Structure 1
C-alpha cells in the first residue's frame, strides 16, 4: 500500500506555567495509507487537535519527524504543506471568507497550494464550472454564486467548505470535527455528503469525531487517543466487532 503521511515518534511539549512542561503529543508513530478513511476518537485533552495541527504544520514538533510521500516535511510551513493537505474545521466560519461570494471562495480553493502572482484569476470563465460543482451539494447553492457566504446557514457553509477542500483532490483531507457545530439532522446530512465525496473521489481522510455512532459507521480504521498517545489503531474487521459499550470502556 502507498504511504501518504508518516509520523515518526511525533512529540509536542508545551510550557505550562513557570518552568513546567506538558506533553500533549507523546511519541506518536502513525502511517496513513492511500485510501484510508480514519476516524479519530478521544476525550478532551487526548491530543486529537494537536495531531491535526502538527500534520497541517500549524504547530511545530518538539521531537520526531513528519513525512509526506517519503519526503521530510517536518520544517515545512502550513502554506507549503497546503499543496498536499486540505482541512475542514469545526467552526463553519473558519473554512470560508464571509464577505466574499460563493464564486470568489471557490476561486480561492481552485488555486489552493499554488503560488500567487498578479495575473488575472479569470473568475468569469470559471462560473459554469463552479456552478456544476455546487450541484453536488443538495441545497440549491448553484443558484447563488453571487451571494456572500456570510448569509449562508452553518450547514450550507460546512458543505461549501467540504466542496472547497476537495475541489482540487488533496493527498490528505483533515476533517476536524466538521459536524460538531451543526444540529443532528444537518450533521447527519453532512456526514452522508462526506461519505459520498470520499467514495467518489477515493479520498484519503482523517476525521476527528465525538460521535461514537459515526466512529462505528464510517471509515476503515479507528484511532483512539488518550494522554497524547494512540492507545488503539483498529482495522475495519476489528472495529466491526465492537459495540458502543466497548468504545466507552476505552475512556474509563
Structure 2
C-alpha cells in the first residue's frame, strides 16, 4: 500500500519564555497510508495541532524527519509542501477570501498549484460547472455564486472551504477541528459532507476532533495523543468494536 506520510522520531521543542525548553511533540513515529482516514483525539496541549503544523510545514521539527510520498520534506517550507496537501481550519474565515465571490474562490481552488499567466479569468465559462458542484452540498450555495463569501453563514463558508480543499484531490487532507465553530446541526451536516468527500473520493485524511461521537463514527484509524506523544494508534478492526465509553477511558 502506498505510504503518503511518514514521521520518524519527530520532535518539536520551544522556549516557553522563561528560559525553559518545553517539548510539544515528543519522538513521534507515524505512518499514514493511501485512503487512510485518521481521527485524532487528545486534550488541550496534547500535540494535535503541532502534529498538523509540522506536516503542513508551518512549524519546523527540532529533530527527526518527515517525508511525503517518499520525498524528505523535513526542511521544506509550507509553500513547497502545498502541492501535496490541503487544510480546512477551525475558523470558517480562514479558508476563503471574504471580498471575492463564491465563484471567484472556486476558480482559485480549481487552478491551485498550477502555473498561471496573465489572462482573462473566463469565470462565466465555469459557472455551470461550479453551480453543479455546489448543488451537491445541499445548503443553497449554488444560489450564491456571485455573493462575496464574507456575507455567507459560517456553515456555508466552511462547506465552501471543504469543497475548495478537495477540488484538486490532494494527496493529504488536513481537517483541523473544522466543525468546532459551528452549531450542532450545522456541524452534523458538515461531517456528513466530509465523510461523503473523503470516502466517496477515496482521499487520505487526518481529522482533529473533540467530538467523541465523530471520532467513533468516522475514519478507519484512531490516534490518541497526550503530552506530545501518540499513546494509542487503533486500527480499523479494533475501532469497529469500540463504543463511546471506551473513548472516554483514554482520558481517565
State TM-score, norm by structure 1: 0.97
- State the partner residue of 1:246: 246
Q: Which runs of 4+ in 1 moved over 6 A?
A: none
Conserved 8 A contact 1:106-1:130: yes
Give the TM-score taking structure 2 as reference length. Answer: 0.97
Q: Distance in 2 between matches of 1:132 and 1:241?
A: 38
Q: Does the residue aligned with 1:136 lie in a helix, a strand or coil?
A: helix
Q: Deviations over 1:214-246 (max 9, x none)?
A: 111100000000000000000111112222222
Q: Partners in 2 of 1:29 and 1:122 — Cα distance?
A: 46
1:27-66 pair list within 5 angstroms? 27-66=27-66
Distance 2:114 2:78 in 1: 13
Determine the structure 1 residue equivalent to 2:222: 222
Q: Does 1:159 align with 2:164?
A: no
Name the CA shift for 1:148/1:65 in 2 (closer, same or farther; >3 Å).
same
* In structure 2, C-alpha distance between the alignment counterparts of 1:122 and 1:5, rounded to whole Å: 37
- 1:100 is aligned to 100
Q: 1 CA distance for matches of 2:197 and 2:204?
A: 11
Q: For structure 1, which segment, 82-91 or 139-148, has the greater mean C-alpha deviation from structure 2 after superposition? A: 139-148
Deviates more, 1:120-129 or 1:101-110: 120-129
**Residue aligning to 2:8:** 8
2:225 & 2:93 partners in 1: Cα distance?
A: 27
Which region of structure 1 is more displaced relative to structure 2, 70-79 or 117-126?
Answer: 117-126
Any gaps of 5 or more consecutive residues in structure 2?
Answer: none
Matched ranges for 1:125-204 at <5 A: 125-204=125-204
Q: Give the CA deviation at 1:116.
A: 4.1
Preserved contact between residue 82 and residue 112 of structure 1 (Cα < 8 Å): no
